[in-house]
Amino acid sequence: MLRISIDERPHWREQAKAHGFEFHTMYGEKYWDESAYYQFTLKQIEQDLEDPSDELHQMLLHLVDLVCNDESLLQQFAIPESQWELVTRSWRRRDQALYGRFDFSYGGKSPAKLLEANYDTPTSLFETGYWQWLWLEEQVKAGKLPRNADQFNGLQEALIERFYQLHKFHRGAPLHFSCCKESIEDLGTIQYMRSCAMEAGLKTKQVFIEDIGFHGQHFVDLDDSKIQWMFKLYPWEFMFQDEYSEQLSKAKVQWLEPAWKAILSNKAILPLLWQTFPNHPNLLPAYFEQDKHKIANSESGYVKKPLFSREGANIEIRKDQQLLARSAGGYGEEGYIYQAYSPLPKFAGFNTLIGSWIVGDKAVGIGVREDKSLITQDLSRFLPHIIVG
């Protein structure tokens, strides 16, 4: 695994604009960065990232089954009791899911270590599935990259295929895509997804989360049409707290991601993984609050993460009683988990993180992010990658 500098394509900013990729720069900071790329060997991709992702995915499904059959675990995952029925029923029905993303600490030398699973509302989808692909095509054409350069990136193809499969379960009903107002990143993400769904031949609609209404027995969009099937880029734990939480069990909606994903978008899954699959090469030791002492004085140090946290918020890294890093945010009231600290590999002074995508049940591609900070957050830069050799 190498980090290699390369000339930027001179026209990429105009191209980004033409493609509607408006969040390549956010708050004045570069988010998409093509002044360098990461290079992997095929062996690194297949053995170190793809196979472990497939396996971890199966492990996660096993844990969902475990949690759904154990009320004390549902409690430990801070899922409100009033929603247990919704969550467990969606699992017993095997409600279909779309996608997920693992975040790995991996530098090409030792096994990839799972930092967390983003299985409810993962983003950076367009950058991975479309934009870095386009970058590779053009750099090969321009002679800046070898002809045999490949990329681990079947993401877009897999998304289209998956939408097509899901469609068979919902013949006729349009798929509503939804996110919160006022985030161009989230809006861009659902518009990209919607493009993929349309490519698969689906009828689609769009509605903002805040505009959803409830009418008698069902949720409605701004045209007062029934919402029967909906993708939401909005976390389950928020939905469980919102005013409409009571309506969730009344309305018949097929959700993407389904309600059982509430179990997997939760950091409590990390200690449970370690309990169930101890010493698995791709896992880091992780503990609940009550077992904190098992890790508090360990040599590696530890990372304290709230059960619910997004975009790297409210994370604390401690080693030898010292605070190495801390991020701000509004999470934490539900409690924390403690995970062994495994520093991200450094390339050219940056901390590098691999996002590995699952669509359906299959690992289909990766995206690479890097940051000066020890904690990867939503403004960490996204760099393209290639496979050679």
Partner 1 sequence: MKRSRTIKLTLLMGATGGLTACGDSDESALLFKDVDECTSFGIEEEACQFQYQQALDSHRQEAPKYASEQLCESDFGFDRCEHSVGGIWRPIMAGFMVAALAEGVDEGLDMMKKRKKKKAAYLGGTYYSGAKPLYRSRDDFFSYRNAQNGFVASAKSSGTTSVKSSTINYKPRASSVSRSRGGFGRSATRSSGGSWGS
Binding residues among 47-86 for partner 1 as defined by CB under 8 A = none
Q: Which of 39, 83, 88, 121 binds partner 1 (CB under 8 A)?
A: 121
For residues 117 and 340, which CB has a smaller minimum distance to partner 1 in the complex?
117
Q: Which of 102, 104, 163, 234 binds partner 1 (CB under 8 A)?
A: 234
Cα gap 300→272, rounded to integer Å: 20
Q: 306: buried, middle or exposed (CB in 10 Å: 19+, 13-18, 0-12)? A: buried
Location of structure tokens 């409600």: 95
Is 257 near partner 1 (CB under 8 A)? Answer: no
Cα gap 68→381, rounded to integer Å: 37
State how far the alpha carbon of 224 is from the alpha carbons of 174, 214, 220, 239, in Å: 14, 9, 5, 20
C-alpha closest to that of 356 among 117, 1, 159: 117
Q: Which of 15, 96, 206, 300 binds partner 1 (CB under 8 A)?
A: 206
- The contact pattern for partner 1, residues 272-311, with x = CB under 8 A and - = no contact, is --------------------------------------xx
Cα–Cα–Cα angle for 255, 257, 258, rounded to 5 degrees: 60
Is 164 near partner 1 (CB under 8 A)? Answer: no
Is 388 near partner 1 (CB under 8 A)? Answer: no
Question: Of the ranges 80-88, 122-130, 278-286, 367-375, which one interacts with partner 1 (CB under 8 A)?
Answer: 122-130
State how far the alpha carbon of 135 is from the alpha carbons of 82, 132, 193, 354, 363, in Å: 47, 5, 20, 18, 21
| Minimum distance from residue 105 beta carbon to partner 1 (Å) | 17
**Burial state string for 347-385 with b = 16 or more CB within 10 A and e = fewer than 16:** beebbbbbbbbbbbeebbbbbbbbbeebbbbbbbbbbbb
For residues 65 and 150, which CB has a smaller minimum distance to partner 1 in the complex?
150
Cα gap 142→288, rounded to integer Å: 52
Question: Of the ranges 199-207, 268-276, 289-297, 336-344, which one interacts with partner 1 (CB under 8 A)?
Answer: 199-207
Cα gap 202→206, rounded to integer Å: 13
Cα gap 99→141, rounded to integer Å: 31
Question: Of the ranges 56-64, 79-87, 119-127, 340-348, which one interacts with partner 1 (CB under 8 A)?
Answer: 119-127
Which DSSP string corresponds to 197-208? HHHTT--EEEEE
Amino acid at 4: I
Is 28 near partner 1 (CB under 8 A)? Answer: no
For residues 247 and 373, which CB has a smaller minimum distance to partner 1 in the complex?
247
Q: Which of 98, 166, 196, 383 binds partner 1 (CB under 8 A)?
A: 196
Decide: 297 and 285 in contact? Cβ < 8 Å.
no
For residues 238 and 288, which CB has a smaller minimum distance to partner 1 in the complex?
238
Question: Within a 13 Å sphere around the CA of 374, how many CA atoms are in the beta-carbon half?
Answer: 16
Decide: 67 and 272 in contact? Cβ < 8 Å.
yes
Question: Of the ranges 69-77, 144-152, 279-287, 346-354, which one interacts with partner 1 (CB under 8 A)?
Answer: 144-152
Number of residues that bind partner 1 (CB under 8 A): 82
| Minimum distance from residue 138 beta carbon to partner 1 (Å) | 11
Pairing label, strands 218-220, 213-215: antiparallel
Question: Of the ranges 164-172, 193-201, 269-277, 341-349, which one interacts with partner 1 (CB under 8 A)?
Answer: 193-201
The SS3 of residue 260 is: coil
For residues 131 and 295, which CB has a smaller minimum distance to partner 1 in the complex?
131
Q: Is the peptide bond before 182 cis (omega within 30 degrees of 0)?
A: no
Subset of 171-190 contacting partner 1 (CB under 8 A): 179-183, 185-189
Q: Which of 7, 70, 85, 137 binds partner 1 (CB under 8 A)?
A: 137
Cα gap 38→271, rounded to integer Å: 31
Subset of 309-338 contacting partner 1 (CB under 8 A): 310-311, 313, 328-331
Is 353 near partner 1 (CB under 8 A)? Answer: no
Q: Which of 215, 250, 252, 346 binds partner 1 (CB under 8 A)?
A: 215
Q: Which of 241, 276, 297, 298 binds partner 1 (CB under 8 A)?
A: 241
For residues 256 and 295, which CB has a smaller minimum distance to partner 1 in the complex?
256
